[in-house]
Structure 1
Amino acid sequence: MADVGGWSTIESDEGVFTSLIETLGVKDVQFEELISIDADTIRSLGPVYGVIFLFKWTKETAGARPEAPLDGTYDPEANVFFAAQTIQNACGTQAILSIILNNEQPPSLPPIALGTELSTFKEFTSGFPPDILGEALSNSEAIRSAHNSFARASPFADETARPDEPSGDAYHFIAYTNVNGTLYELDGLQPHPISHGVCGDFAVQVADVLRRRVERYPEGETGFNLMAVVKDPRGRAKEIGDAETLEREERKRGAWEWENTLRRWNFVGFIGEMMKGVVAGKEQGGGKEYEAWVEKAKGETQKKLERRS
């Protein structure tokens, strides 16, 4: 994919996010998709560093108000890594880093090994206000290159789309994590980190906050995705000799690697050449046979449309 200095859109996918942080040097951490918002499901994943919530952004439900958020309270004095969102398409990676960089030394969980790249970035930006930190993040060539390496390859993608150009529904990522005993909501579109109070049981508390957020939407809205940031279960499986878990996780990693390879591959040329071969084969049988083949295809398409109707 051509790298023209912009940030490309990447998918909200556990394999993409896991491979992204590993590309940046983070070790022993992975992402797990959550299919329900309940404490037991979150606890079942083992040590959980935080969750990333993807939702359809609307002015009415986002809660971007200068005086107070719709839920929780602004904490401008919070001692957390918090970057303002200054560019389009990077909110997923920004939410990821909001959890990873705030859990280098968590009080009750195994520490996250950041690796050289992110450790250097965190040290360099220590003490930066959110707006300057957002600019530093957007200008990090290493983070941007890692992010863009997981964008779908397509000759039709516009990697430099303007944020003020309409492009259908807008989706946004935010992070929830426990920092120094407080549950924080870290949203780069907000002016400050949002505190949801003392964090006793992270799973219970974050599930309650997320349910309240989902309830702001009309009944039947399904434009949400939730992922947990957890410790890689393979290490524990090796320690206790859990061959079944280890095999399952290795299969999962293999599937992620294959899917990420497909994302980077541009199939347009292959499909074009394949269609040329099909058409050439039909033409060899004479024009009438080719026309009959086209008409048959049109008829099958029309039947499918009628059945859907």
Structure 2
Amino acid sequence: MAESGGWSTIESDEGVFTSLIENLGVQGVQFEELISLDPDTIRSLSPVYGVIFLFKWLSGRSRDATSPEDGTYDQTATENGLFFAAQTIQNACGTQAILSVILNHDESSGSSTLAPINIGPELSAFKEFTAGFPPDLRGEALSNSEVIRTAHNAFARASPFVDETQRPAPADEDADLYHFIAYTPVNGTLYELDGLQPHPISHGPCDAENFPEKVIEVLQRRIARYPAGEIRFNLMAVVRDLRIRAQEFGDMELLERENQKRRAWAWENSLRRSNFVGFIGEVLKGVVRQKVKDGKYEEWVETAKKETQRRAEMRRGNI
């Protein structure tokens, strides 16, 4: 059984999320970051299977088992084929939100007017295995999936000092905590899928065509509940691989841009998995040896001390 410490924190990044699902065997899907709450931007990426929303968790709000702050609980949605899993583990909410979209638009769902997603053998087996489970057991099954956990943890930042899979509860009650949830149209309804809620949340009738307008309305209402000036949100669309569109329309310029983007993602992800502390330490040792050899070590240290002091005084407003 996987323990809560077995899942690391990963970044909200389109390259990370795309590579993560590809490592799980999903084909023909990618993530695109949305920089504005604009329905036309979402529509320009069609087909869009859903969006992943990252937001700052507001403490002090109790969860109401009978009514959410917006929308209504749909207690029969899972019985009608919706994939929804309760979140039973820390740090897994990003991957859980991703799967909340992906697993509701595969071939077995039969609930979407969009082209079905090829989720691959591993996720197909997972979905089939958990088909009759209630949300809490689905959450446990997800938490204990070695395949999903390994794909998730592949994007943890390397560190020689701490085990980033260990995440103790913050001592500061005011510490910033962030959470991922998913919005997706399934069975003609816009659903908010949040593993910390007791049930899927329905936001009314919705299909793939009017999803951009509907989801933006919901997101705007949610953001309006935050203090004015709060900007710490992130929104990503789950879309069909844009290289497929480029090939279908013979758009070689778009195809090249997307291929360049994939190369950049691969490079950035390799850096995320790399630990440069040892390299930096060796460089610093080499610099020190050279300063000692040149007889300038003491001068170098004193110069650094003066510069540090100058910057500290500038921060205090003394200069």
**TM interval, short-chain normalised:** over 0.9
Find the counterpart in structure 2 of residue 66 from structure 1.
65
Which AA in structure 2 matches 1:266?
N
Compute the displacement of 1:298 (Å): 2.8
Find the counterpart in structure 1 of residue 17 from structure 2.
17
> Residue 14 of structure 2 contacts residue 236 of structure 2 at CA under 8 Å; is this kept in 1?
yes
**How far, CA to CA, are the matches of 2:183 and 2:258 in structure 1?**
25
Find the counterpart in structure 1 of residue 264 from structure 2.
255
Compute the displacement of 1:281 (Å): 0.7
Compute the displacement of 1:133 (Å): 0.3
> Residue 88 of structure 1 contacts residue 163 of structure 1 at CA under 8 Å; is this kept in 2?
no
> Residue 125 of structure 1 contacts residue 133 of structure 1 at CA under 8 Å; is this kept in 2?
yes
Identity %: 70
> Residue 20 of structure 1 contacts residue 146 of structure 1 at CA under 8 Å; is this kept in 2?
yes
Compute the displacement of 1:60 (Å): 4.8
The reply to whether residue 204 of structure 1 matches residue 203 of structure 2 is no
**How far, CA to CA, are the matches of 1:306 and 1:35 in structure 2?**
38
What stretches of structure 1 of length at least 5 have no aligned partner? none
CA displacement, residues 126-150 of structure 1 (integer Å, 9 cap, x when unaligned):
0210100000000000000000011
**How far, CA to CA, are the matches of 2:303 and 2:63 in structure 1?**
54
> Residue 6 of structure 1 contacts residue 159 of structure 1 at CA under 8 Å; is this kept in 2?
no
> Alignment partner of 1:51: what SS?
strand
**How far, CA to CA, are the matches of 1:306 and 1:26 in structure 2?**
54
2:193 to 186, 200, 207: 186
> Residue 48 of structure 1 contacts residue 229 of structure 1 at CA under 8 Å; is this kept in 2?
yes
> Alignment partner of 1:31: what SS?
strand
Find the counterpart in structure 2 of residue 118 from structure 1.
123
Compute the displacement of 1:65 (Å): 1.6
Which AA in structure 2 matches 1:225?
N
> Alignment partner of 1:191: what SS?
coil
Find the counterpart in structure 1 of residue 151 from structure 2.
146
The reply to whether residue 270 of structure 1 matches residue 297 of structure 2 is no
> Residue 50 of structure 2 contacts residue 237 of structure 2 at CA under 8 Å; is this kept in 1?
yes
**How far, CA to CA, are the matches of 2:212 and 2:60 in structure 1?**
27
Compute the displacement of 1:112 (Å): 0.3
Find the counterpart in structure 2 of residue 244 from structure 1.
253
**Cα RMSD over matched residues?**
1.8
Compute the displacement of 1:161 (Å): 3.0
> Residue 4 of structure 2 contacts residue 90 of structure 2 at CA under 8 Å; is this kept in 1?
no
- Higher mean alpha-carbon deviation, 99-108 vs 39-48, is at 99-108
Compute the displacement of 1:156 (Å): 2.7
Find the counterpart in structure 1 of residue 142 from structure 2.
137
Which AA in structure 2 matches 1:117?
E
**How far, CA to CA, are the matches of 2:151 and 2:162 in structure 1?**
18
The reply to whether residue 222 of structure 1 matches residue 241 of structure 2 is no
What stretches of structure 2 of length at least 5 have no aligned partner? none
Find the counterpart in structure 2 of residue 128 from structure 1.
133
> Alignment partner of 2:104: what SS?
coil
**How far, CA to CA, are the matches of 1:118 and 1:241 in structure 2?**
32
Which AA in structure 1 matches 2:6?
G
**How far, CA to CA, are the matches of 1:164 and 1:307 in structure 2?**
35
Which AA in structure 2 matches 1:43?
R
Compute the displacement of 1:290 (Å): 1.2
CA displacement, residues 85-113 of structure 1 (integer Å, 9 cap, x when unaligned):
00000000000000000011453211100
> Alignment partner of 1:55: what SS?
strand
**How far, CA to CA, are the matches of 1:84 and 1:237 in structure 2?**
37
> Residue 73 of structure 2 contacts residue 201 of structure 2 at CA under 8 Å; is this kept in 1?
yes
Compute the displacement of 1:239 (Å): 2.0
> Alignment partner of 1:69: what SS?
coil
Q: Aligned in 2, Cα 1:6/1:134: closer, same or farther, shift over 3 Å? A: same
The reply to whether residue 76 of structure 1 matches residue 75 of structure 2 is yes
Find the counterpart in structure 2 of residue 171 from structure 1.
178
Find the counterpart in structure 1 of residue 114 from structure 2.
109
**How far, CA to CA, are the matches of 2:4 and 2:283 in structure 1?**
30
Aligned length: 304
> Residue 4 of structure 2 contacts residue 89 of structure 2 at CA under 8 Å; is this kept in 1?
no
**How far, CA to CA, are the matches of 1:230 and 1:60 in structure 2?**
35
> Alignment partner of 1:127: what SS?
coil
Find the counterpart in structure 1 of residue 89 from structure 2.
87
